[in-house]
């Protein structure tokens, strides 16, 4: 993950989490994934639709295309034209599928609502599987970054949500997303961690015998 965070960045993030938890019983976890879903079905569906459109456009020129095929073949048969239509459509679908796999086109064809759902589901799954949802006082927070979608999910456990309104977390998310888009992901994440720490300090002061229940290092997830 050196493309996104250097070794120094990772050390700073881990240190920021530790410092943010110094005066609170709350727990902060961070996670990063390059992309929350392959979105292959949308790429394929878009390519198929484009292929159908291409096929119908070719139908408008059936006669001149048939004459061209007759001219370029020695023993023309009617199925040659049909074969040409099928082969040309297949090639177009294949080429467009490859094209739609490129990040720029991918973001154009995948609905933003779908991307939001995929990121949210992936974040919630990690929130449960990583143990953030199993802290002693239910005071765990997950800051989840999905880079390709440029989306952030901040999930706070039940014990936190009972005392802190969602709008406070929303502001932290909005600021971090803006930082990611402006190519300052490390700085944005550090600021988000500190902001979460300040909120937790106020509402969940540290208790006697408090122990660190979650890893301070950022977790990198497979696509």
Residue 1 confidence (pLDDT) above 80: no
User: Thinking of the domain 7-37+111-221, which architecture would CATH place it in?
Assistant: Roll (3.10)
79-92 pLDDT, tens digit per residue, is 888 899 999 999 99
Q: How far apart are CA 191 and CA 79, in angstroms?
A: 66
Average pLDDT rounded to a whole number, residues 65-90: 88
Q: How confident is the model at residue 165 (pLDDT cuts 50, 70, 90)?
A: confident
Model-level pTM? Answer: 0.87
CA distance 132 to 123: 11
Average pLDDT over residues 116-121: 96
Residues 6+ apart with CB under 8 A from 190: 12, 13, 16
The pair phi, psi for residue 221, each rounded to 5°, is -105, 150
Residue 214 has pLDDT above 90, yes or no: yes
Q: Give residue limits of the domains in the chain.
A: 7-37+111-221, 40-109
Q: Does position 67 have pLDDT exceeding 70, yes or no? A: yes
- Pick the more confident residue, 209 or 92: 92
Cβ pair 162, 190 in contact under 8 A: no
In terms of DSSP H, where are the helices of 77-214? 78-100, 103-109, 112-129, 158-161, 166-181, 185-203
Q: Is the dihedral angle over the CA atoms 194, 198, 201, 203 positive or is it negative? A: negative
């Amino acid at each position: 993950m050196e493309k996104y965070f250097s070794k120094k960045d990772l050390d700073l993030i881990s240190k920021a989490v530790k410092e943010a938890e110094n005066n609170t019983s709350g727990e902060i976890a961070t996670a990063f994934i390059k992309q929350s879903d392959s979105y292959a079905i949308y790429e394929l569906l878009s390519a198929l639709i484009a292929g159908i459109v291409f096929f119908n456009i070719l139908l408008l020129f059936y006669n001149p295309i048939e004459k061209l095929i007759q001219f370029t073949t020695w023993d023309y048969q009617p199925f040659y034209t049909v074969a040409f239509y099928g082969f040309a459509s297949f090639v177009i679908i294949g080429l467009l599928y490859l094209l739609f796999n490129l990040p720029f086109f991918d973001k154009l064809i995948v609905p933003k609502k779908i991307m939001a759902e995929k990121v949210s589901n992936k974040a919630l799954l990690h929130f449960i599987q990583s143990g953030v949802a199993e802290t002693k006082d239910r005071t765990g927070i997950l800051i989840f970054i999905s880079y390709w979608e440029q989306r952030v999910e901040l999930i706070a456990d039940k014990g936190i949500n009972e005392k802190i309104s969602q709008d406070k977390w929303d502001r932290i998310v909005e600021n971090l997303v803006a930082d990611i888009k402006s190519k300052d992901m490390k700085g944005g994440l550090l600021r988000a961690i500190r902001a979460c720490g300040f909120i937790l300090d106020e509402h969940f002061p540290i208790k006697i015998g408090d122990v660190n229940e979650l890893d301070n290092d950022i977790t990198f997830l497979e696509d």
